[in-house]
Amino acid sequence: MKTIVYKSDSRGYANHGWLEARHSFSFANYFDRERMNFGVLRVLNDDAIAGGQGFGTHPHDNMEIITIPLEGDLEHKDNMGNQAVIREGDVQVMSAGTGVYHSEFNHHPDKTLKLFQIWLFPNKQNVQPRYDQISIRDVAEKNKLYQVLSPNPDDQGVWIHQDAWFFLGNYDAGKTDSYTIKKAGNGIYIMVIEGEVNVSGTDLSKRDAIGIWDVESVDITASSDARILLMDLPMQMN
């Protein structure tokens, strides 16, 4: 088993007034040659967006983009004709493919929006751009990982062009869980959203993360009430 720990306070940081962002990997003005990606995981941004503010229309291509609101609601518009509000308890995905333009704004005029935006390299280039969002409220389970993303359109959650699976977990203090990798050669990246957990012997606090590879399974113990995001993804580019 090989591991790398990403402490919360070691992430890149930017404060633009309307946007407070923490970057797990090199992004925009934050550059660290040792933090370019974890396998196909290219971006994990932890954003806090002021009321009524957001990102104007901008392009993406050949990237799988996943957004998970943590607090508040996000307003989305794109050149495919999609206009939607992604609420806390939803997951949004865009396959940028051959190219897409979109904007994202805090839906509320006076409440801060907090979200994760995640970019994964796809396993297919120049696909037809697509957009989807789902509610995960009805599939959320307590003290057990529940799937919110996979490569299969027929599985629970959203799907993407990559052999990756995402799970959320909401745990009471003292509860334990385990996870077995879905595909040989994949690694696991776990971000602690809230609380404190121990992952296969490593203690992690709020917004700490750990990358694990050359392993078949991991054990998770909630040291306090905790919430985590687990990503099972290829370590090699397709």
- Residue 234: which of 99, 41, 70 has the closest Cα? 41
pLDDT confidence of residue 42: 99
pLDDT in tens, 155-176: 999 999 999 999 999 999 999 9
107 is in an annotated binding site: no
> Is the pLDDT confidence value at 238 over 80?
no
pTM score over 0.95? yes
Question: Above 90 in pLDDT, residue 36?
Answer: yes
Q: Check the annotation: does 104 bind a ligand.
A: yes
Same fold flag, 11-135 and 146-234: yes
Torsion 141-146-152-157 (CA) sign? positive
Q: What is the pLDDT of residues 86-115, one digit of tens each?
A: 999 999 999 999 999 999 999 999 999 999
Q: What's the pLDDT at 22?
A: 99
**Residue 194 assigned ligand-binding role:** no
Radius of gyration, CA atoms only, the chain: 17
Residue 129 CB neighbours (<10 A): 19
- Please give the span between the terminal C-alpha atoms of the chain, in angstroms, as a whole number: 22
Question: Is the pLDDT assigned to residue 237 strictly greater than 90?
Answer: no
Average pLDDT over residues 228-235: 99
197 strand-pairing partners: 204, 222
153 — pLDDT class (breaks 50, 70, 90): very high
CATH of 11-135, one of 3.30.565.10, 2.60.120.10, 1.10.3720.10, 3.90.1580.10: 2.60.120.10
Q: Does domain 146-234 have CATH number 2.40.170.20?
A: no
Query: What Cα–Cα distance (Å) separates residue 28 from each residue in 32, 65, 100, 139?
Result: 11, 16, 19, 35
Domain ranges of the chain: 11-135, 146-234
Bridge partners, residue 182, by sequence: none
Q: Any known ligand binding at 75?
A: no
Q: Determine how β-strand 217-222 pairs with β-strand 197-199.
A: antiparallel
| Per-residue tokens: 131 | 């957009």
**Residue-averaged pLDDT of the chain:** 97
